[in-house]
Structure 1
Amino acid sequence: MPFVTVRHFTEDDIPTRTALLRESRFQANLTDFAVVSDDDALTANQQRTITRQHRVKRMFTLCESRGATVGFAWITSIDWPGQTCELSFGVLPEYRGPYGAAAVTAAHAHIRAELNMRVVVNQVLEHNTMLVSSGELTEQRRVRCAYDSYTVGEWRTACYWTESEQDVRRWREQAADRRRAIAHRIRSASASPRPS
């Protein structure tokens, strides 16, 4: 899996994120407010988030190992006393395949370790299979909300679920168990005498 780091979003990131907000797949899968906003309004909105809205919203830049930007993450609906928030992502088109899952993992790890968030609310529009397959989305969701969002001229159904600290620990243990089982099968196959 590619290595992704997380850093604070800065004014230098605004042009790249603005271009992402205007990208058609991003708009269809999250929000299309960039369609009705001009560049000045989008820039002002992002500058407000950086300078004055840290209590209610934070933005982060996701980078690959050499420091190039692969996308962005942001948290909203922040409940500092309750240690909960909603986490959103936007991965640049050229990095979606190789870096999508790594970006999600890095953002989750960052907000848990650095911001002490204990429960993360996930929302994915039902048609959006860029990071999660339809089957996985159906399996993970706890709430299905029809007519949740209006994007690119259509009402969209959203799926919601939470991830707690316990969920993260359980998934890490399951992943470690799978890796151990695979390693055991490989060692067993390598140690077996080969037929002559």
Structure 2
Amino acid sequence: MADLLGRLVLRHLEHEDVDLRVDAQYDERVARNIAGHLALTPRDELLSRFREHVDDPASGRLEYVVAKPGGETVGYIFLTGLDWVNRTCDLSITMLPRFRTGLGYLALMCAFDYVYGCLNMHAVLTMVLDVNEMMASGEWNAKRANVTSTQANYTDGAFRAVHVWTQTRPEYEAMIAEGRARIAAMRERLGNGLGKEVGAR
């Protein structure tokens, strides 16, 4: 179990999580943001697949639950394409709809933190469907993408582009450092403004 940024907890998927995990796959608000074939798979088959991932870490797919510190599940992270020699993997995330706005981006950052910090990966491949409602705007995804494949996926009754990008550990660390610098600068500006206001009274 990893406590990430003091806000979210990342833990391995267990048998007691499988029913809720499969329910999420059948939620149309989730299904239209991911590859649509899972929603067409019989429930018993999906349950069997996820139980296999729980029982066999060598199945080629690592499944994690993202939860609040109190235990409430907010989403799921799974890793595929694991290359332990070259330290690379594919990362995917599924957020429960009611937690997308407040915790979606944080969950993704926490996933990167875990993959680089705990699994010692050097590069992570991420693939997102255009107009994905779970994470960010299509414009943000398109700008970040190394490759965009148009009409690569047919989901929710329409062809959609797929944005693909690779992020290395140094790139992630630089992004975090930049974010912390912006926060520090904002706090300093707010602090200076508050000091001037207090001094003027």
Q: Is the 8 A contact 2:30 2:96 kept in 1?
A: no
Distance 1:117 1:164 in 2: 9
Q: TM-score normalised to the size of structure 2?
A: 0.89
Q: For 1:53 and 1:154, locate their aligned partners in 2 and report how far apart those are by CA, in whole Å.
A: 35
Structure 1: gaps (5+ residues)? none
Q: Please show how residues 46-125 of structure 1 align to structure 2 within 5 Å.
A: 46-52=50-56, 54=58, 56-125=60-129
2:146 counterpart residue number: 142
2:53–2:61 contact (8 Å) kept in structure 1: yes
C-alpha displacement of 1:93: 1.8
Structure 2: distance between partners of 1:129 and 1:71: 14
CA contact (8 A) 1:55 1:78 kept: no
Q: Is the 8 A contact 1:21 1:32 kept in 2?
A: no
Counting matched residue pairs gives: 196
Of 4-13 and 134-143, the range deviating more from structure 2? 134-143
* Change in CA separation of 1:195 and 1:47 when aligned onto 2, cut-off 3 Å: closer
Candidates 7, 17, 20, aligned match of 2:21: 17
8 Å CA contact 2:89, 2:124 repeated in 1? yes
Per mean C-alpha deviation after superposition, the further-off stretch among 181-190 and 135-144 is: 181-190
How far apart are the structure 1 equivalents of 2:101 and 2:64? 20
Equivalent of residue 36 in structure 1, options 40, 43, 46 = 40
Match of 1:180 in 2: 184
Deviations 1:13-32 (A, max 9, x none): 11101110001121111122
Matches for 1:135-174 after TM superposition, within 5 Å: 135-174=139-178
User: Are the equivalent residues in 1 in contact too, given 2:94–2:134 (CA < 8 A)?
Assistant: no
Deviation at 1:53, TM superposition (A): 5.2
Partner-residue secondary structure (3-state), 2:58: coil
- Whole-Å Cα distance in 2 between the matches of residues 67 and 40 of structure 1? 26
For residue 191 of structure 1, the aligned residue among 177, 192, 195 is 195
Q: Give the alignment's TM-score, normalised by structure 1.
A: 0.91
Q: Percent same amino acid among aligned pairs?
A: 22
Once residues 186 and 52 of structure 1 are traced to their aligned partners in structure 2, the CA distance between those partners, rounded to angstroms, is 51
Paired letter, 1:36: L
* Residue 150 (structure 1) shift: 2.2
Specify the code of the residue in structure 1 equivalent to 2:10: V
Are the aligned partners of 2:95 and 2:134 in contact in 1 as well (CA < 8 Å)? no
Task: Note if contact 1:75-1:85 (Cα within 8 Å) is conserved in structure 2.
Answer: yes
2:142 is aligned with what amino acid? T
Note if contact 1:7-1:62 (Cα within 8 Å) is conserved in structure 2: yes
Amino acid at match of 2:44: D
Query: Aligned AA for 1:169?
Result: E
Q: Which amino acid aligns with 1:107?
A: A
